[in-house]
């Protein structure tokens, strides 16, 4: 792997290494610092106003190379774009994370995640105003999600509420239309 690894693999590895360094720092300096560490780990993060360098790619292929086969084909059976996925989080707060005063959080590792998806799910959630080929509508409904996160800790300690995929898709398209990007 190394330099030849996929960009997403490098990104995920960097998140892991950064968190490990933070925990190592706290362990090494616990007698010197007067605070605890809490690691909050989001998955694939969505929301409004994408970085400018992503915009042209999105407008050409709708968010990512993985979705291109879904939007450009006329097959009637699902492909990996409909059946292989990841997890999502809309970065806009529906409710701000709040620490319960009675809940111990120091030393906790908390996963914040709205749920799993496949790229076909985004096409299914996209507003009709966004004129896209819809791939295989519903093709992701029977997807086997290889990774599912238990977010009970985030719900219990942070009282998190998440935007739905439909809300995120609708709001993202409305934002981009208002900016004249679509």
Alpha-carbon distance of 124 to 166, in angstroms, equals 9
Q: Is the dihedral angle over the CA atoms 74, 79, 80, 83 positive or is it negative? A: positive
Q: What is the pLDDT of residue 27?
A: 93
User: What are the tens digits of pLDDT across the range 43-90?
Assistant: 777 765 554 444 444 444 444 444 444 444 455 555 555 455 677 777
Going by pLDDT thresholds of 50, 70 and 90, the confidence category of residue 126 is confident
* Stretch 18-45: mean pLDDT: 87
pLDDT, the chain, mean = 74
Going by pLDDT thresholds of 50, 70 and 90, the confidence category of residue 24 is very high
Going by pLDDT thresholds of 50, 70 and 90, the confidence category of residue 158 is confident
Q: What is the pLDDT of residue 21?
A: 94
In the block, residue with structure tokens 């007698």: 31
Residue 44 CB partners (closer than 8 Å, separation 6+): 86, 87, 88, 89
How far does CA 146 lie from the centroid of its chain? 15
Lowest-confidence pick of 7-21, 105-119, 129-143, 145-159: 129-143
* Stretch 17-26: mean pLDDT: 93
Which of 3-17, 90-104, 129-143 holds the top average pLDDT? 3-17
- What secondary structure, in 3-state letters, does 35-104 show? CCCCEEECCEEECCCCCHHHHHHHHHHCCCHHHHHHHHCCCCCCCHHHHCEEEEEECCCCCCCCCCCCCC
Q: What is the pLDDT of residue 32?
A: 94
User: What are the tens digits of pLDDT across the range 166-178?
Assistant: 888 888 888 878 8
Distances (CA, A) of 174 to 41, 56, 121, 146: 28, 17, 18, 32
Q: Is the pLDDT of residue 33 over 70?
A: yes
Alpha-carbon distance of 55 to 80, in angstroms, equals 24
Distances (CA, A) of 159 to 35, 91, 137, 165: 22, 15, 33, 19
């Amino acid at each position: 792997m190394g330099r030849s690894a996929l960009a997403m693999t490098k990104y995920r590895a960097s998140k892991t290494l950064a968190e490990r360094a933070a925990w190592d720092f706290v362990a090494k300096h616990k007698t010197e610092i007067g605070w605890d560490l809490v690691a909050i780990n989001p998955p694939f993060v969505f929301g409004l106003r994408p970085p400018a360098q992503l915009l042209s790619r999105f407008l050409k292929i709708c968010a990512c190379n993985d979705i291109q086969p879904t939007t450009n084909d006329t097959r009637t059976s699902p492909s990996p774009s409909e059946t292989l996925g990841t997890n999502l989080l809309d970065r806009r707060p529906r409710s701000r994370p709040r620490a319960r005063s009675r809940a111990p959080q120091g030393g906790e590792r908390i996963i914040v995640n709205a749920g799993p998806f496949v790229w076909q799910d985004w096409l299914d959630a996209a507003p009709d105003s966004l004129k896209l080929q819809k791939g295989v509508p519903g093709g992701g409904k029977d997807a086997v999600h290889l990774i599912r996160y238990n977010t009970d800790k985030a719900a219990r300690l942070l009282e998190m509420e998440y935007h739905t995929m439909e809300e995120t898709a609708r709001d993202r398209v409305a934002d981009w239309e208002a900016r004249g990007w679509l």
